[in-house]
């Protein structure tokens, strides 16, 4: 997913730096990704054999983490095998997952919350409507989302199967969203990628034998309850609240019929406002986090344009032990550059990886 602050392209840098600091210590087994977003960093360290603690304030991110981090065993969807006429030819879980997705790809359209609020739908040309998705995809999204929920409510699928299906829907609906990048605005005309039909391509499964932990809490609340070996922090750098920029994904994940406001159809996010996006609160909040971390190592990704200065971060982290920092030049987040979209200029920033070896 194209996500603000995603560390996907920085993974080799993060891996190399974290290894340099921690590799001699073979007793480090737990890796906590406290601001998980798309779960990219947690996924990487899960594949390396760590036990992962994943967390994010946003519910869509929690769903992605439940799938990519929490799920680690095969899913067979035995409870709906008959209903979906699954004539499986093998015992492979991948076949079962494919078959469920195929079934969902072909179910009958439903006029639901997404179609009614985020598509042109029945609105007339001269009326105001929100064009986040084509009508076709809005109808499909509602049908799939409602089917997943009814299977879940009727106990026909397990919690893990539910997370797999929801994560698959979130990933694939995002691919056909009619936005320049985030959901703070939609485009006036349906762009080419948004004209494609929503298709449930199964979300990645990462198998292993370790039980992981996944949370949907404020980082500063959670830090008081967990113990880890490596704590990786990737908080927002600036004032842009993720709850505002990804509100449509949040609504699809929760599917809770929220009251929507204004042109963009924003849901109320007063309980999801992050102090890391607030110039007045960020330093104190970060200090509180660092001082309450029960861990051997802390790593923080932050860039040179963030709300906290380099020196402020260094001072706070140094209170816990031996401080150090790596840096890399990096191309900032870009909106896609289709002709009808607002173009955000690509330019480079310095990406820092601050760390402290705790006393
Ligand atoms: C820079 S993004 C993380 C990106 C992630 N590393 C990735 O590669 O996808 C920051 C994340 O922090 C989450 N967040 C913001 N404030 C938070 C808080 N107080 N507690 C937990 N998560 C928070 C946001 O929802 C967002 O997903």
> Could you read off the pLDDT of 101-121 as tens digits, one per residue?
999 999 999 999 999 999 999
**What is the distance in A from the centroid of ligand 1 to the CA of 89?**
41
- Which of 34, 56, 269, 288 to mutate to test ligand 1, by most ligand atoms within 8 A of the CB atom? 56
Residue ranges per structural domain of the chain: 1-57+213-236+274-359, 73-205+239-271
Q: Sorting pLDDT into bands at 50, 70 and 90, what band is 339?
A: very low
Supply the pLDDT for residue 333: 60
Atom 1, ligand 1: residue with shortest CA distance: 5
What's the CA gap between 323 and 358, in Å, rounded?
A: 9
* 3-state DSSP of the chain: CCCCCCCHHHHHHHHHHHHHHHCCCCCCCEEEECCCCCCHHHHHHHHCCCEEEEECCCHHHHHHHHHHHHCCCCCCCHHHCCCCCCCCCCCCHHHHHHHHHHHHHCCCCCCCHHHHHHCCCCCCCCCCCCCCCCHHHHHHHHHHHHHHHHHHHCCCCCHHHHHHHHHHHHHHHHHCCCCCCCCCCCCCCCCHHHHCCCCCCCCCCCCCCCCCEEECCCHHHHCCCCCCCEEEECCCCCCCCHHHHCHHHHHHHHCCCCCCECCCCECCCHHHCCHHHCCCCHHHHHHHHHHCCCCCEEEEEEECCCCCCHHHHHHHHHCCEEEEEEEEEEECCCCCCCCCCCCCCCCEEEEEEEEEEEC
Q: Sorting pLDDT into bands at 50, 70 and 90, what band is 342?
A: very low
Architecture of domain 1-57+213-236+274-359: 3-Layer(aba) Sandwich (3.40)
Question: How high is the mean pLDDT of the chain?
Answer: 94
CA-37 nearest atom, ligand 1: 27
- Residues enclosing ligand 1, CB less than 6 A? 3, 5-7, 35-38, 40-41, 55-58, 61, 218-219, 234-236, 242, 274, 276
Q: Sorting pLDDT into bands at 50, 70 and 90, what band is 330?
A: confident
**What is the distance in A from the centroid of ligand 1 to the CA of 218?**
10
Supply the pLDDT for residue 324: 98
Q: What is the pLDDT of residues 293-325, one digit of tens each?
A: 999 999 999 999 999 999 999 999 999 999 999
Q: Sorting pLDDT into bands at 50, 70 and 90, what band is 222?
A: very high
Q: Sorting pLDDT into bands at 50, 70 and 90, what band is 338?
A: very low
Supply the pLDDT for residue 276: 98
Q: Sorting pLDDT into bands at 50, 70 and 90, what band is 26?
A: confident
- Among candidate residues 165, 252, 156, 146, the one with its CA nearest the CA of residue 205: 165
| pLDDT above 70: residue 343 | no
**What is the distance in A from the centroid of ligand 1 to the CA of 58?**
8
**What is the distance in A from the centroid of ligand 1 to the CA of 300?**
12
- Which of 242, 247, 303, 306 to mutate to test ligand 1, by most ligand atoms within 8 A of the CB atom? 242
**What is the distance in A from the centroid of ligand 1 to the CA of 234?**
6
Supply the pLDDT for residue 88: 73
């Amino acid at each position: 997913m194209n996500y603000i602050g995603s560390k996907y392209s920085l993974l080799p840098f993060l891996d190399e730096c974290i290894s340099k600091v921690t590799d001699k210590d073979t007793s480090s087994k737990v890796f906590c990704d406290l601001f998980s977003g798309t779960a990219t960093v947690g996924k990487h360290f899960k594949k390396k054999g760590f036990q992962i603690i994943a967390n994010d304030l946003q519910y869509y991110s929690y769903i992605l983490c439940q799938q990519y981090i929490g799920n680690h065993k095969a899913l067979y969807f035995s409870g709906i095998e008959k209903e979906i006429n699954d004539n499986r030819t093998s015992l492979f879980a991948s076949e079962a997952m494919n078959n469920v997705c195929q079934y969902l790809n072909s179910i009958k359209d439903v006029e639901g919350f997404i179609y009614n609020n985020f598509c042109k739908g029945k609105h007339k040309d001269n009326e105001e409507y929100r064009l986040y998705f084509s009508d076709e995809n809005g109808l499909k999204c509602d049908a799939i989302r409602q089917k997943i929920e009814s299977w879940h409510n009727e106990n026909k699928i397990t919690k893990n199967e539910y997370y797999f299906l929801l994560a698959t829907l979130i990933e694939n609906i995002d691919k056909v969203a009619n936005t320049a990048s985030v959901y703070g605005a939609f485009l006036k005309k349906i762009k080419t990628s948004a004209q494609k039909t929503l298709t449930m391509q199964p979300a990645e499964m990462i198998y292993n034998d370790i039980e992981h932990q996944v949370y949907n809490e404020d980082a500063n609340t959670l830090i008081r309850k967990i113990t880890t070996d490596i704590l990786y922090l990737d908080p927002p750098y600036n004032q842009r609240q993720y709850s505002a920029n990804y509100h449509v994904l949040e609504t699809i994940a929760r599917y809770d019929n929220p009251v929507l406001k204004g042109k963009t159809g924003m849901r109320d996010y007063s309980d999801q406002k992050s102090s890391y996006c607030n110039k007045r609160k960020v330093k104190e909040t970060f200090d509180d986090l660092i001082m309450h971390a029960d861990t051997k190592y802390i790593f923080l990704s932050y860039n040179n344009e963030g709300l906290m200065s380099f020196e402020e971060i260094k001072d706070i982290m140094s209170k816990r032990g031996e401080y150090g920092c790596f840096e890399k030049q990096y191309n900032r987040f870009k909106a896609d550059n289709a002709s009808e979209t607002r173009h955000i200029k690509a330019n480079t920033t310095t990406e820092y990886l601050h760390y402290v070896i705790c006393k």
